[in-house]
Amino acid sequence: MSYPSEDNLRRWIAFLAALGVGVATYVAIAESGGGSPVCLAGGTGCATVAKSSYSHVAGVNIAIFGVIGYLLLLASAFFANDLVRFGGFLVSLGGFGYSVFLTYIEIFKIEAICQWCVASAVLMTLIFLLNATRLIAYGGNELQEAR
Amino acid sequence: MNDADRRTKMMQLASGAVFLAIVVVVALIVVSSSNSDSGGDAENIEGAAEVSRSLKGIPQNGMVLGDPGAPVEVAEFGDLQCPFCAAYAKEILPAIIETQVKNGEAKIDFRNFTIIGPQSLPAGAAALAAGEQGRGWNYVELFYKNQGAENSGYADDAFLEAVAEAAGVKDMAKWNKDRAKLTSKVEETTEEAQQLGFGGTPSFALKGPGAKELEPIDTPESSEALEEAIEGAG
């Protein structure tokens, strides 16, 4: 099976992770003063989601974890060795799993959809798929130069 | 370790991590689902969107839901802390609201009949204050959806406020002022229910066109029975 070159995978991971940093930073700043992100098209889903208890873990806004996660993923795109391939895979797996949980919570518990959360979930899913491809295609090639 | 060994090891670790992630996500979902039944949690008011959808487009005046000119008035005497009222609101009333209220045959007036405990009074006043801003029924239905165990102390100020916000009350300062004033109204309707001879909640009384006073009825045990009672009064 032929895979995209690792260089291309890394470029896409960097691009999507940079977008993710932007989305998570916006949400973190918007919520920092007790406010909420502005929903496009005037919906109220973002305010409802931001006010729910699920928006914080141990008192910390989950958008902060998002910023950290996306920064780690962005950094992982700048190196090509097994440590970052595996690390990038683990971080994106965690992010993807948590996005699945949050999407479930939005639909079935809070009953409100925040477009920023959906955007982040889509980005994280794509980054996870790219990192999984990167690990499967190039994992174990410690000495291989990036192509 | 050569490349092939390292690769095998990494794939094993990655498979383990994927398995672990699946277990953790499923566990989180199961735990959050089982928490939903506890109710009375000011941090997690649930069902606001659903309530808003079900009441959309129906006029609300004070605690009266439906066309003010509807020929039949249904007075529901309820206590927000009462689990039977919550069950009634979930299982029996929606069919009536969807048909006879929406098509203008009947209007439903929610009146407080506080019988459960001390927190029923401020809870009832909180609903009336939401009614002052056209959100009375959103408040009642949302309260029922998030109801906690009877007299467990959950219906404190934080809970009442959280329900008001989720119900879409716009002016919270006004709501706070109004609810302080409206406790006497809750006491009045409670007295009215006693005068009508009711001993429990929810209780119902109907007033058809031309009737001067509310006529108490036995609490209908199904949507069909309530529908028939409304048709009989109309």
Q: Edge to edge, what strands does the sheet with B64-65 contain?
A: B60-61, B64-65, B106-112, B72-78, B203-207, B215-217
Residue B39: predicted pLDDT: 72
pLDDT higher than 70, residue A41: no
| Residues in chain B within 8 Å Cβ distance of A54 | 44
A109 and B44 within 8 Å at the Cβ level: the answer is yes
Which residue in B6, B24, B29 is closest to A104 by CB distance? B29
The band of A147, judged by pLDDT with boundaries at 50, 70 and 90, is very low
- Chain A, chain B: beta-carbon pairs less than 8 Å apart: 69
Per-residue pLDDT of chain B (234 residues; tens, 9 = 90+): 677 888 888 899 999 999 999 999 999 888 877 665 567 777 788 888 889 989 999 999 999 999 999 999 999 999 999 988 999 999 899 999 999 999 999 999 999 999 888 899 999 999 999 999 999 999 999 999 999 888 888 999 999 999 999 999 999 999 999 999 999 999 999 999 999 988 889 999 999 998 889 999 999 988 999 999 999 987
CATH of domain B48-233: 3.40.30.10
CATH number of A14-138: 1.20.1440.130
Domain positions in chain A? 14-138
Q: Residue A40 carries which DSSP code?
A: G
Domain coordinates in residue numbering, chain B: 1-35, 48-233
Mutation to test the B interface, candidates A56, A83, A93, most B Cβ within 10 Å? A93
Looking at CA atoms only, how far is residue B155 from chain A in angstroms? 18
| pTM of the complete model | 0.59
Å between A113 CA and nearest CA of chain B: 10
Q: What residues of chain A lie within 8 A of the CB of B28, using their CB? A: 101
DSSP string, A44-58: SHHHHHHHSGGGEET
Q: Rounded mean pLDDT of A69-77? A: 96
Spell out which chain A residues touch chain B, with contact meaning CB-CB distance below 8 angstroms: 48, 51-54, 82, 85-86, 89-90, 93-94, 96-98, 100-101, 104-105, 108-112, 132, 135-136, 139-143
Long-range contacts of B189-195 (CB under 8 A, 24+ apart): B189/B77, B189/B111, B189/B112, B189/B113, B190/B112, B190/B113, B190/B114, B190/B115, B192/B77, B192/B111, B193/B77, B193/B111, B193/B113
DSSP B119: T
ipTM (interface pTM): 0.83
For residue A33, the model assigns a pLDDT of: 67
- Which residues, at least 6 apart from B191, have a Cβ–Cβ distance to it below 8 Å? none
Mean pLDDT, chain B, as a whole number? 91
Per-residue b or e along A112-138, where b marks 16 or more CB atoms closer than 10 Å to that residue's CB: bbbbbbebbbebbbbbbebbbbbbbbb
